[in-house]
């Protein structure tokens, strides 16, 4: 587990961990005051919109940065942008964003999976892209493997998160094995790691990393902002859903 970046050596650790394990964790990227400002922005959200999902086990906002544009300046601080640039360079842009709120009594869990789809504006039948799905008017498609290998995800934690309230469980190194079906995991060869992240910290991960999330058992809330980045231009007329 790492503190916010301070020098070239620290950045090298992040880069090496992402390359070998498929993820890295950086604590104290945002102050508690900055996180509190994000909470205030979230509290004003209009939950009646189609992109909002609300149940006893989960509250989620799809196209999050579009729905709450005022929160962008709170997230994309100079230090946050510098951190991402130091790891990935300056050619990446946002292509998808979701907010997840897992309540204190949530029984919601997610089994092991890879993030194999990208969000796009509309369906366009192009060789190498498929199968397609649509959820709440959001089109998603599985792209060629090389696009997924280039992309990365940042999970900003608005609460302290551990194994008792839904911290991700991952199979380190699984992102290097292409399409890896969960039912084929050989636990005699693979290992599982739990990824606790403190309030204000972030987890950076590759979408092909096998990951899961358990039910909440601690009565502690877990709120996460999930943002996906790419540096790939999609073939016309296909367009990223949330390019900015």
**Domain annotation covers residue 242:** no
What's the pLDDT band for 200 if we cut at 50, 70, 90? very high
Any bridge partners for residue 24, and if so which?
Answer: 204
Number of CB atoms found within 10 A of residue 193's CB = 12
Give 50's Cβ-side CA count (13 Å radius): 4
* pLDDT bracket for residue 11 (50, 70, 90): very high
pLDDT higher for 100 or 48?
100
CA separation for the pair 176, 18 (Å, rounded): 11
Domain annotation covers residue 235: no
Dihedral in degrees, nearest 10, Cα atoms 194, 164, 152, 137: 140
Banded pLDDT at 105 (limits 50, 70, 90): low
Contact between 225 and 37 under an 8 Å Cβ cutoff? The reply is no
Residue 106's nearest CA partner among 225, 215, 220 is 215
Structure-block tokens of residue 225: 């902002």
For residue 219, what are the domain limits? 2-230
Q: Inform me whether the pLDDT recorded for 78 exceeds 70.
A: yes
Does the pLDDT value for residue 222 go beyond 60?
yes
Which pLDDT belongs to residue 107? Answer: 62
Q: For residue 240, is it within any domain?
A: no
Per-residue pLDDT, averaged over 184-213, amounts to 97
156 occurs within a structural domain: yes
Helices (H), 122-174: 145-150
Confidence of residue 3 (pLDDT cuts 50, 70, 90): low
Domain-located, residue 244 = no
| pLDDT(109) > 60 | yes
Write down the pLDDT at residue 216.
Answer: 81
203 occurs within a structural domain: yes
Average pLDDT of 35-64? 76
More confident residue, 54 or 121: 121
Evaluate whether 53 touches 60 at the Cβ level (below 8 Å): yes
- Domain contains 159: yes
Q: What CATH number should be reported for the domain holding residue 123?
A: 2.60.120.620
Q: Hey, CA dihedral for 241, 57, 226, 111, is it positive or negative?
A: negative
Query: Whole-number mean pLDDT of the chain?
Result: 91
Q: Using alpha carbons only, give the angle 208, 240, 155 rounded to the nearest 5 degrees.
A: 45
For residue 106, pLDDT over 70 is answered with no
Q: How many structural domains does the chain have?
A: 1
The pLDDT tens digits of the residues spanning 132-177 come to: 999 877 899 999 999 999 999 999 999 999 999 889 999 999 999 9
Euclidean distance between CA atoms 126 and 130, whole angstroms = 8
- Note whether residue 31 is domain-resident: yes
Upstream peptide bond of 132 is cis (omega within 30 degrees of 0): no
pTM: 0.92
Q: Is the confidence at residue 204, as pLDDT, over 70?
A: yes
Tell me, what's the pLDDT at 114?
98
Q: Which of 41-55, 82-96, 188-202 has the lowest mean pLDDT?
A: 41-55
Say if residue 209's pLDDT is above 90.
yes
pLDDT for the residue 154: 98
Helix (H, G, I), strand (E, B) or coil at 64: helix
């Amino acid at each position: 587990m790492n503190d916010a970046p301070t020098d070239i050596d620290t950045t090298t650790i992040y880069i090496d961990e992402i390359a070998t394990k498929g993820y890295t964790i950086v604590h104290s990227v945002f102050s508690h005051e900055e996180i509190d400002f994000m909470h205030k922005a979230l509290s004003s959200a209009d939950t009646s919109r189609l992109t909002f999902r609300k149940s006893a086990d989960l509250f989620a906002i799809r196209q999050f940065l579009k729905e709450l544009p005022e929160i962008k300046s709170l997230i994309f601080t100079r230090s946050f942008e510098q951190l991402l640039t130091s790891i990935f360079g300056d050619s990446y842009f946002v292509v998808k964003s979701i907010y997840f709120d897992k309540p204190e009594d949530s029984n919601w869990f997610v089994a092991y999976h890879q993030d194999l789809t990208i969000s796009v504006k509309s369906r366009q039948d192009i060789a190498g892209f498929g199968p397609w799905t649509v959820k709440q008017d959001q089109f998603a498609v599985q792209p060629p493997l090389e696009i997924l290998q280039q992309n990365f995800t940042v999970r900003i934690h608005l609460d302290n998160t551990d194994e008792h309230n839904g911290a991700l469980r991952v199979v380190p190194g699984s992102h290097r094995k292409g399409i890896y079906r969960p039912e084929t995991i050989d636990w005699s060869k693979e290992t599982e790691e739990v990824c606790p992240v403190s309030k204000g910290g972030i987890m950076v991960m590759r979408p092909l990393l096998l990951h899961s999330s358990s039910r909440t058992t601690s009565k502690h809330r877990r709120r996460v902002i999930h943002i996906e980045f790419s540096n790939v231009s999609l073939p016309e007329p296909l367009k990223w859903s949330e390019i900015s």
